[in-house]
Structure 1
Amino acid sequence: MTFANQLTLLRIVLIPLFVVIFYLPVPWAHITCAIIFAVAAITDWLDGYVARKYNQSTAFGAFLDPVADKLMVAIALLLLVSLHHDSAWFVAAAAVIVGREIIISALREWMAELGQRASVAVSFIGKIKTTLQMIAIIVLLMDRQEWYLMEIGYIALAGAAALTLWSMVIYLRAASPFFSTSATKK
């Protein structure tokens, strides 16, 4: 078990703690969740850096890293929807982000079966989207009433949702030449 894989597993282990703390009836619950999510976001960057720098890339890590990322983000967005359920655009933005992750994960798996995984590799737009998404989730998890913090969170979430759609279109266009190919594995 490499250090990079341990960092990825840490993100998954943090998820139940994150959920339990979110629902604790204590004043520090949401700020603690924001800190846990920030730690998870940092380990997301750090595990990739460690894997590349110290040649710790593994097949297990390549599988587990995106799973850990998507689980943490989807669960955080679901929890945030429970706080912002009265805001239709917030619920829609969260649905767009989670829905896109499911679509692109399936697309990447399918493209890998065709031997074309590189056609749908992570793009620069995806990295910007992820950064905005992390900022939005961290700020909104704090659940502070200072107007400027909530506005920063809402703007970052709206930007992440827009880039989510844009990057999905780019990925689907890159894969479109393969949509008419046979379903048999190559």
Structure 2
Amino acid sequence: MTANLYCCGFVANEHGPCGMCFKSLIIARPWAIAHQGLDVIAVKSVKQAPFMKNQIPNLLTMSRIFVIPALIASFYINGPVGNWIGFALFAFAGVTDFFDGYLARSMNVVSPLGRFLDPIADKLLVAAALMMMVAFERISGLAVLPAVIIMCREIMVSGLREHLAEIKVPLPVTVLAKWKTTAQILAIGFLLVGDASPDLIPSILIGDILLWIAGIVTVQTGYIYLRTGLKHLD
């Protein structure tokens, strides 16, 4: 049985579209249904959702996870080049962290997968950066303490959020936590550059100070989250 061409709802001939428009054609293989001596042509219409458009925010989120191996590899590149590559990768991840949420809200494609992946990607990236900088002694001495505090807090809050999600209790992000995140990201950025920065910019000193600020605020936000969560841990 031959296939008919359909364009804008009109049946076209075998040589092309109906001539009324040249939008994309749906080629369907109709089947005849005998009904009171008449042949009825039925066509199945298929709607294709704009899959890629809807997945852009999630792809940006996942790109932060894919950046982690490259960030780790940058520590094994000797000289200032490795520092700047690590910083560039971390900065790229920070940009995607802004745009994935912005695009998801503006395009109205906020998804459960995105809500699940976004905090995980952030925590994995921060954890990898802190652990590698401690291992390569870009974070050393007492500056290791706020790094440990930040790591412990992230693990505690993640576990708390998971438990509260099971009982349908939200744990919203506080304004103080956003300031903590800002100080933490800036600290990691300066420390990734480290001694590769220009002489006029004491990146290590600035990074250490910001890391301590983030660590102190981390204790405060961790206490707030824990106090809120304990009310529902009966």
- Superposition TM-score, scaled by structure 2 size: 0.72
Structure of greater relative contact order (alpha carbons < 8 Å, 6+ residues apart): 1
- Point out the structure with the larger strand share: 2
Residue aligning to 1:140: 191
Which residue, out of 211, 229, 232, partners 1:157?
211
How far apart, CA to CA, are the structure 1 residues paired with 2:191 and 2:108? 36
Q: What is the deviation of 1:19?
A: 0.8
Q: Partners in 2 of 1:84 and 1:91 — Cα distance? A: 9
Alpha-carbon distance between aligned partners in 2 of 1:56 and 1:81, rounded to the nearest angstrom: 38
1:8-157 → structure 2 map (5 Å cutoff)? 8-84=61-137, 87-117=140-170, 120-144=171-195, 146=199, 148-157=202-211
AA of the residue aligned to 2:183: L
Asked if 1:173 corresponds to 2:227, the answer is yes
Answer with 44-53 or 68-77: which moved more.
44-53
Larger helix percent = 1
Summarize the Cα distance change of 1:129–1:85 in structure 2 as closer, same or farther, 3 Å threshold.
same
* Structure 1: gaps (5+ residues): 182-186
What do residues 91-113 of structure 1 show as CA deviations (whole Å, max 9, x unaligned)?
21111111100100000010111
Q: RMSD between aligned alpha carbons?
A: 1.6
Number of residue-to-residue matches in the alignment: 178
Q: Deviations over 1:43-102 (max 9, x none)?
A: 111111111111121111111111110000000000111233783322211111111001
1:184 aligned partner: none
| Percent identity over paired residues | 39
Specify the code of the residue in structure 1 equivalent to 2:135: S
Listed one character per residue, the Cα deviations across residues 125-177 of structure 1 (whole Å, up to 9, x for unaligned) are 11111110000000000012646322211111001111111100010111121
1:81–1:90 contact (8 Å) kept in structure 2:
no
Supply the AA of the counterpart residue of 1:154: D
Q: Distance in 2 between matches of 1:40 and 1:123?
A: 22
**CA distance, structure 1, for counterparts of residue 80 and residue 227 of structure 2:** 47
Structure (1 or 2) with the larger CA radius of gyration: 2
Q: Where does the alignment leave 5 or more consecutive residues of structure 2 unmatched? A: 1-51
Cα distance in 2 for partners of 1:28, 1:87 equals 21
